[in-house]
Amino acid sequence: MTFIYTCQQCGKQYTVYEEGDYICDCGDRFHYPSAISNLTTNYTATAPLFLDSSSRSVKRHIQFKHSLRPHITKVQIKDCPLAKASLICAFLSLPFFGILAIPALLLGFAARIMISNPRYRYTGDGVAIAALIIATISLSGWGMWLLKTL
């Protein structure tokens, strides 16, 4: 026995032959026979995608248009803000007696960790390394000067 099902999401009509879980072309899932329209069996419609719920196998393969899904966007790669802040602190530590060298070192190491993590998709590893080098030179230079004066 065949029935006609109308998708609640897109309005497309399907000829349904057996009970089970289906997926419409628009991606909406439905279960037959919960919502059966009143059209006659003489109406010809396309067959929906049938999912066997026990093995999750698909009888008919349909290409989904992934561009219609709003949550899929292009991934943007940005510069790491911690690397920039580390570089600023490193440069400011030179005239200010190395006080900002410790925050520059901490921000530089945190930036390197964030850049190495693929989840964040940050760039700027060279900036973080430069900030670490400048902060180390500043801290050691001001430390030597302090030891000489005492």
Domain boundaries, the chain: 1-60, 78-149
* Residue 36: band (very low, low, confident or very high) from pLDDT cuts 50, 70, 90: very low
According to the model, what pLDDT value does residue 114 have? 94
* Residue 57: band (very low, low, confident or very high) from pLDDT cuts 50, 70, 90: very low
CA dist 47 and 17 (Å) reads 9
- Examine the pLDDT at 61 and tell me if it is beyond 50: no
CA dist 120 and 63 (Å) reads 31
According to the model, what pLDDT value does residue 118 have? 86
Contact assessment for residue 12 and residue 26, using Cβ atoms and an 8 Å cutoff: yes
Per-residue pLDDT of 41-51, as tens digits, reads 554 555 555 55
18-38: average pLDDT: 67
According to the model, what pLDDT value does residue 75 have? 62
**How far apart, in Å, are the Cα atoms of 133 and each of 54, 102, 107, 127?**
59, 12, 13, 10
Taking CA 108 as the corner, what is the angle to CA 102 and CA 114, rounded to the nearest 5 degrees?
140
Closest C-alpha to 77, from 131, 120, 14, 31 = 120
According to the model, what pLDDT value does residue 34 have? 54
